[in-house]
Amino acid sequence: VGPDAISAAADQVTDELKDDIRFSFDRVRTFAEHQRASIQDFEAELSPGLWAGQRLIPVTSAGCYVPGGRYAHVASAIMSITTAKVAGVENVIACSAPSQEHGGIHPAILYAMNLCGADHILALGGVQGIAAMAFGLFTDRHANILVGPGNRFVAEAKRMLFGRVGIDLFAGPTEILLIADEDADPEIVAFDLVGQAEHGPDSPAWLVTTSKRLADDVMARMDGLISALPEMQAAAASDAWRDYGEVVLCDTDEEAVGVSDDYAPEHLEVQTANLDWYAARLKNYGSLFVGEETTVAFGDKCSGTNHILPTKGAGHYTGGLSVHKFIKVVTTQRMTRDANRDVA
């Protein structure tokens, strides 16, 4: 995609949407800058004359996949490209599928890609987009790591290429687990569950609660909220809630923590009276949303944290996309002659 097409796309994006994209970009970039500042090079003398240390070296080239099929995933462009550039990646290749409606990449996605600093942009989606970035087609710069969400075919292409290139994580359908007690608002709980179930027919929505009254109240509201959605989203949410929805009733807060840590959900919301207690004890999740004001929709779009997160239990061993994924932590060592002899 050349500069003329990028300029033309910007002309098609409303000023209001540009402001929204900038709002998200500023927060994601600031959060990524704080992440980068939290890690540093160091060297320490482990014994007389023997120094060991670490260096943080960004990968040379990253491929960022941005879904552009059913919906224009503007936020995915911001989450991946911005984070890579803050990490120090010198060459970022971004790709997204062209649409029949626009004759190319959705204008808002293209505007966001350019704003966030993409060095190369390909109007290419699906498996072929992943392959083009991995093998350096059209850019002569093959990606060292591939990141970004996509459908099952994109996920499988990344899995098959893992080893030849790095990947951010193995991703499945989006998930939400919500921990709530008797003080939670059942209407808000139900809304947040539906808000993730509508993503697709295989998107799990789990409620873990210590209150049977809340459990019954939330379940009673779900069908009505789902039926009020637009037809396509209602069909997806209905299937997801029927086949993958769960309500788990626990005796104690400790049991609720244990259930949640076992599931290791992608998005974990806590709406309880003792928020700090839960936040300090929960260990396995992609991103944590503390309190009823902190809905997943904010984290997925514009609060600053990254929305490319582990699913299907991957939260047991990894977090989501961050500047760390684009940086190699390598070790160094040096010795004096005397230290060389001591070690020998």
**Is 292 considered catalytic here?**
no
CB 136 within 8 A of CB 95: no
The residue annotated as part of the active site, out of 175, 266, 269, 292, is 266
Query: Looking at this protein, which amino acid is placed at residue 270?
Result: V
Cβ contacts of 38 within 8 Å, gap of 6 or more: none
Query: Looking at this protein, which amino acid is placed at residue 333?
Result: Q
CB 215 within 8 A of CB 262: no
The residue annotated as part of the active site, out of 267, 269, 292, 307, is 267
User: CA geometry: angle at 155 spanning 154 and 158, to 5°?
Assistant: 85
CB 46 within 8 A of CB 52: yes
Of 118, 135, 143, the residue nearest 63 (C-alpha): 143
Of 119, 128, 76, 78, the residue nearest 98 (C-alpha): 128
Cβ contacts of 65 within 8 Å, gap of 6 or more: 76, 80, 94, 95, 96, 129, 130, 133, 146, 147, 148, 149, 150, 154
What does the DSSP 8-state code read for residue 209?
E
What does the alpha-carbon distance between residue 245 and residue 205 come to, in Å, rounded to a whole number? 5
Of 210, 213, 218, the residue nearest 274 (C-alpha): 210
What does the alpha-carbon distance between residue 301 and residue 79 come to, in Å, rounded to a whole number? 9
**Is 266 considered catalytic here?**
yes
What does the alpha-carbon distance between residue 49 and residue 43 come to, in Å, rounded to a whole number? 12
Instruction: Write out the catalytic residue numbers.
Output: 266-267
